[in-house]
Structure 1
Amino acid sequence: MKFVIVGGTGRVGSGVVTKLRQQGHDVVAAAPETGVDTINGTGLDKALDSAAAVLDVTNSPDMSEQPATEFFRTSTRNLLAAESSAGVGHHVTLSIVGIDRPHDLGYYRAKLAQEQAVRDGDVPYTIVRSTQFMDFVKMLVDSSADGTQVRLPSTMVQPIAVTDLVDALATIMTEPPAGSIVEVAGPEAMAFDEFARRLFAATGNQRTVVTDQSATPFFGAALGERLLVPGAGARLGSTGIADWLAS
């Protein structure tokens, strides 16, 4: 089968490209550097010809709300129009767990606009909402350090290894369209501060983790208790923190 990965030269996209090629599929890695631009439409018709399914893992170059919203709406509408013309039967979009819950994150609102554009289109779809990557949560922990301390809330997190997300996306690409949201997450849910303690214990970091419910490690936003964890029925990866650190 032929699959097109839009954003296929990025970290997640290139992983899905490799995974599907290993399974014997014909896979196009579509990105501006390979001659495909979803904003001006360049190269879309050729890339999508005879494609069975398309995965969109593009990201806005500007993550502030208005530019990101404009990027996602324009890119998604152009992509879906080209898919419809090409007879593509399945559109898969990568999104984020929690974007429909209470928050004050402009980028999350931009991703919601992208999801709505997918629903408004006429191509059968699956929206895949993922929890945060493990290395991204590690970055948030590191950026919260103040001398010998790290102050973090006990908000629950359930981060996923990128390899597990790649596996999930490659599988979903070969499945019929869900016509709804599929959530994916790591196998372990834990408090944000506990994640840091386990991380430090495994890496020999001598900093002290202080539980502070007023801490805002997530771009300064207040974290609702369920913002960073999936709901019931999520597809769970197999890579826990210990395995992720070891790899």
Structure 2
Amino acid sequence: MRILVIGGTGLTGRKVSQKLAEAGHEVVIGSPSQGVDILSGAGLAEALAGTKVVIDLSNSSSPEDETALNFFRNAAKNLIPGEKLAGVKHHLVLSIVGTDRAQYIGYLRAKKEQEDQARASGIPYTIIRSTQFHEHITTIINVQGNENETHVSSVDYQPIAVDDVAELIVRFALEEPKNAIVEIAGPEKDAMTRFVSQYIDIKGSVKQLIADDNDRYMYFDIPKDLLVPLGDFYTGSTRFEDWLRSH
């Protein structure tokens, strides 16, 4: 089956593309470096020709409110009509757990717009909302602190490994469209402070963890449970400590 992976050169996209190719599918990489630009439309018709499934892993160049919103809005103007013309049978979007519960955050408003475009497109779809990746832990440590310390809240956290995310994306892509939102998360739920502390201990970081209970994440005030699923979800298999020791 011919499958277009938008954002196929990114961290998740590379793994998804590799898994699909190993399963015997014809994978088309949708990225400007491969001659496919969803913002200008360049190369898109050729990439979509004969494609049955589109996996949208695209992302804006910045999480800034208007930049992200304009990116997803303009991408949809090219991608959705192109998919309809090509007869695409399944459109998948990778989104974020909690997207609809914190619409005061600009980037989540942009992701909600991307989800809404998929739902309204008339193309059979699956929206996959994921929790934060294991690989994101270094960003938390670096952004929420300085050279000597990192300030971390005890909000609920349930990270998932990118390898597990890719495996689940491939699974859903090869199944019938859900025409719904599904959520995915890691196998362990705990306070964010526990995961950061574990990282610092195992990696031998010189930074000191300053724990607090102010329910903040990346400088945003958030609900304590924003970053975890509230209902049913599909579970990755990689425990955080195992991921740490293997990286």
* CA deviation after TM superposition for structure 1 residue 146, in Å: 4.7
What is the RMSD computed on CA atoms of the aligned residues?
A: 1.6
Q: Does 1:138 align with 2:135?
A: no
For 1:158 and 1:138, locate their aligned partners in 2 and report how far apart those are by CA, in whole Å.
Answer: 15
> How many residue pairs are counted as aligned between the two chains?
246
Letter in 1 for 2:114: Q
Mapping for residues 124-163 of structure 1, pairs under 5 Å = 124-146=124-146, 148-163=148-163
Letter in 1 for 2:87: G
Judge conservation of contact 1:103–1:223 (CA < 8 Å) in 2.
no
Q: Render the CA deviation track for 1:160-196: whole Å, top value 9, x for unaligned.
A: 1111111111111101110010111111111011112
Alignment TM-score, normalising by the size of structure 2: 0.94
Q: Render the CA deviation track for 1:179-214: whole Å, top value 9, x for unaligned.
A: 010111111111011112222222233544332123
Q: Which residue matches 1:173?
A: 173
* CA deviation after TM superposition for structure 1 residue 226, in Å: 1.2
For 2:62 and 2:213, locate their aligned partners in 1 and report how far apart those are by CA, in whole Å.
Answer: 30
Q: Which residue matches 2:23?
A: 23
* CA deviation after TM superposition for structure 1 residue 42, in Å: 1.3
Q: Which residue matches 1:80?
A: 80
Alignment TM-score, normalising by the size of structure 1: 0.94
For 1:224 and 1:103, locate their aligned partners in 2 and report how far apart those are by CA, in whole Å.
Answer: 12
For 1:146 and 1:38, locate their aligned partners in 2 and report how far apart those are by CA, in whole Å.
Answer: 37
For 1:121 and 1:165, locate their aligned partners in 2 and report how far apart those are by CA, in whole Å.
Answer: 25
Mapping for residues 49-198 of structure 1, pairs under 5 Å = 49-102=49-102, 104-146=104-146, 148-198=148-198
For 1:234 and 1:59, locate their aligned partners in 2 and report how far apart those are by CA, in whole Å.
Answer: 23
Q: Which residue matches 1:235?
A: 234
The sequence identity of aligned pairs, in percent, is 38
Q: Render the CA deviation track for 1:37-61: whole Å, top value 9, x for unaligned.
A: 1112111111111111000111111
Letter in 1 for 2:232: G
Q: Give 4+ residue runs of structure 1 displaced > 6 Å after superposition.
A: none
For 2:66 and 2:14, locate their aligned partners in 1 and report how far apart those are by CA, in whole Å.
Answer: 28
Judge conservation of contact 1:5–1:28 (CA < 8 Å) in 2.
yes
Q: Which residue matches 1:219?
A: 218
Q: Secondary structure at the match of 1:214?
A: coil
For 2:102 and 2:235, locate their aligned partners in 1 and report how far apart those are by CA, in whole Å.
Answer: 24
For 2:208 and 2:228, locate their aligned partners in 1 and report how far apart those are by CA, in whole Å.
Answer: 25
Query: Aligned in 2, Cα 1:75/1:201: closer, same or farther, shift over 3 Å?
Result: same
Structure 1 unaligned regions, length at least 5: none
Q: Secondary structure at the match of 1:100?
A: helix
* CA deviation after TM superposition for structure 1 residue 233, in Å: 1.6
More divergent stretch after superposition (173-182 vs 58-67):
58-67
